[in-house]
Amino acid sequence: MEIVQKYTIGFHDVLRLFNTLPPSIEPTATGHIIEQIEMVKQIIANGYAYEVNGTVYFDVEKYTKEHNYTILTNRNLEELLNNTRELGGQDEKRGRLDFALWIKAKPEHIMRWPSPWSVGFPGWHIECSAMSRKYLGDQFDIHGGGMDLAATHHTNEIAQSQACNHTTPAKYWMHTNMLTVNGARMSKSAGNGFLPRELFTGDHPLLKKGYSPMAVRFFMLQAHYRSTLDFSNEALDAAEKGYRRLMNAIALLDKIVPAKQSNIDINLEELRTRCYAAMDD
C-alpha cells in the first residue's frame, strides 16, 4: 500500500503542475475484488468460461462461434493462433487464446483473496470491465488507452463484457500512439525515457535544459492523439516559443481599444474566453 500511495500522490502532483483537473472517480482493482468475482460468476453462468484446478479461463473458441472476437483490430483469427506462444504451465487451457479471469495463487504469491474457485487473484483484463461497469454502466461512450493494448487487453475486455452484459463496453475506442525520443521509441532498456519532473528540471542527459509544465503541455497538445509524439530539445524549444507567443497575445487583448467606428464587430470578452478555453482543452 505504501508503494501505491507513493505513486498515486506523485501522479496527482504532476496533474496539478500540468493544470489538469483530477478524475472524479479513481477506483482501484484491489478495492473491487467482489465486483470482479461476481462478473466471473456471470460469465461462467452464461457459458463462456470454465474452471480448471482453481483457475477460471475465458473460452475464446466458444465466444467466436457467436461473436466477432477480433472486431476491434480486424485481425485474422488463424493468424492470432499461429502467433500465440505455447507458455509453460498453461496446458490446462482448452485453447491457446483462452485467457484467465481468475488465477489460483501459488503459496508464495502476495496477492490472494478467497473466491468460489480458489484462493487467488483476478486476471489482467477483468478489473477494467468490472470497475467501468460499476461506475459507467454496461455501456459507455469512450474507452482510451495505448495502441499496444488493442490487440490483447482491449480485445479481451470487449469479449468478457459482451459475454457478461450482452453488449460491448464502449461505443468508441481511442488509442494513443507511442512516445519517441529523437526518433527512437522511448523505453527503459534504451535509457531514453524520462519522467515529467525531469522534463521540468532538465535533469536528464538527453535534455539541454528544463521546460515549464505548461510549455510541455502545449507541446503535447500539438500532436494528434493517434500520431507519434517525438520528444527532442528542438521540438520542446519550438513549443516553448509558441506558448510564449500565445501568452503574449492573450496579454495584449486587454490593451486593445476598438475604434469608435468599424465595419468589423470585435467582441474582446468572447475572444479572450476562446483563447483561455483553447488552453484548457
Residue 41 maps to which CATH number? 3.40.50.620
Using alpha carbons, list the distances in angstroms from residue 256 to 19, 259, 266, 268: 28, 10, 10, 8
Q: Which residue has the higher pLDDT, 279 or 214?
A: 214
Whether 158 and 263 share a structural domain: no
Encode pLDDT of 146-202 as tens digits.
999 999 999 999 999 999 999 999 999 999 999 999 999 888 888 888 889 999 999
Encode pLDDT of 103-154 as tens digits.
999 999 999 999 999 999 999 999 999 999 999 999 999 999 999 999 999 9
Q: Is residue 22 very low, low, confident or very high in pLDDT (cuts 50, 70, 90)?
A: confident
4: three-class secondary structure by DSSP: helix
Whether 31 and 163 share a structural domain: yes
Whether 147 and 252 share a structural domain: no
The pLDDT, as a whole number, for residue 88 is 47
CA distance 211 to 208: 10
What pTM was estimated for this model as a whole?
0.84
Whether 143 and 191 share a structural domain: no
Asked if residue 278 has pLDDT above 80, the reply is no
Residue 236: give the domain boundaries: 184-280
Q: Is residue 257 very low, low, confident or very high in pLDDT (cuts 50, 70, 90)?
A: confident
Whether 28 and 147 share a structural domain: yes
Whether 238 and 195 share a structural domain: yes
- Domain boundary residue, one of 122, 154, 176: 176
- Domain boundary residue, one of 122, 144, 176: 176
- Domain boundary residue, one of 176, 204, 237: 176
Whether 118 and 251 share a structural domain: no
CA angle, residues 7, 12, 18, in degrees to nearest 5: 125
Whether 170 and 271 share a structural domain: no
Asked if residue 84 has pLDDT above 80, the reply is no
Torsion (CA) 213, 219, 224, 226 in degrees, nearest 10 = -70
- Which triple of cell numbers denotes residue 67? 461473436
Whether 11 and 42 share a structural domain: yes
Whether 20 and 45 share a structural domain: yes
- β partners of residue 179: 229
Whether 86 and 155 share a structural domain: yes
Asked if residue 81 has pLDDT above 80, the reply is no
Whether 159 and 188 share a structural domain: no
How many structural domains are present in the chain?
Answer: 2
Contact 99, 36 (CB under 8 A): no
Contact 234, 240 (CB under 8 A): no
The pLDDT, as a whole number, for residue 92 is 87
